[in-house]
Chain A
């Protein structure tokens, strides 16, 4: 019973993931958000302003107004992506606690 439920759930998730992957743009497609500043020559000039309004260009232009720092990288990792850095620090903390628990010596029982 448990096994069949697991197999059915796995099949459902696998189908969902395959469908999502089939709908993605191919790698290197200029429509991807990361390629905002790369504008191919065959794009007509009236499409360029709309195309440039993507996430990378937005950060470059507006981070000084939104956050206030002049370092765009610091603005992105600490403000726009602040949750990511918070849990990154938490993961580092957990890893160190695990290291100390495994190889550290207990000073209270020396």
Chain B
């Protein structure tokens, strides 16, 4: 597989489209079925496909582990700080309609849910980085994928 040009090219060309699909699922979390967890897994799978197409070392250089960990923590913090906005405006944690934070859009639209959109984006970022970092951990544990000499 390491020498297959078709696998390499197709996997690299597919990655932006899969990421767009995942972002679409995340951003429509308040309007349609789907949401942060599902869209995040799609984006994480896109990264795994990207890392499988080229070798793991190059993929690790493109997206370093420390950046993944920072962004992963930021995903949970987006959720928590969205909830803190309710406290700062004088209501309870994760208050939505009462304090009108964040600004409410048209009901049924993309931003109709108020806190739903920042929460969904935070969860999506978190889950995508979770999948990517777990892939990192397992690949490092198993070692570099070695080229299979017998099939050549």
- Taking CB atoms and an 8 Å cut-off, the chain B residues in 94-116 that contact chain A are 94, 96-97, 104-105, 107-108, 112-116
**Is chain B's binding surface mostly helix, strand, loop or mixed?**
helix
What total of A-B pairs shows CB separation below 8 Å?
Answer: 115
Size class of the B contact interface (CB-based, 8 Å): 35 or more
Q: Of the 9-residue stretches A16-24, A36-44, A53-61, A68-76, which lies at the interface with chain B?
A: A68-76
Main secondary structure of the interface of A (DSSP, over half): helix
- Interface size range of chain A in the complex: 20 to 34
**Known contacts A64-B107, A99-B137; is A69 also within 8 Å of B79 by CB?**
no
Query: Is A92 an interface position by the 8 A CB rule?
Result: yes
B9 within 8 A of A: no
Interface hub of A67, A90, A99 (most chain B Cβ within 10 A): A67
B interface vs A, CB < 8 Å? Answer: 29-33, 35, 65-66, 69, 72-73, 75-76, 79-80, 83, 93-94, 96-97, 104-105, 107-108, 112-116, 119-120, 122-123, 126-127, 130, 133-134, 136-138, 140-141
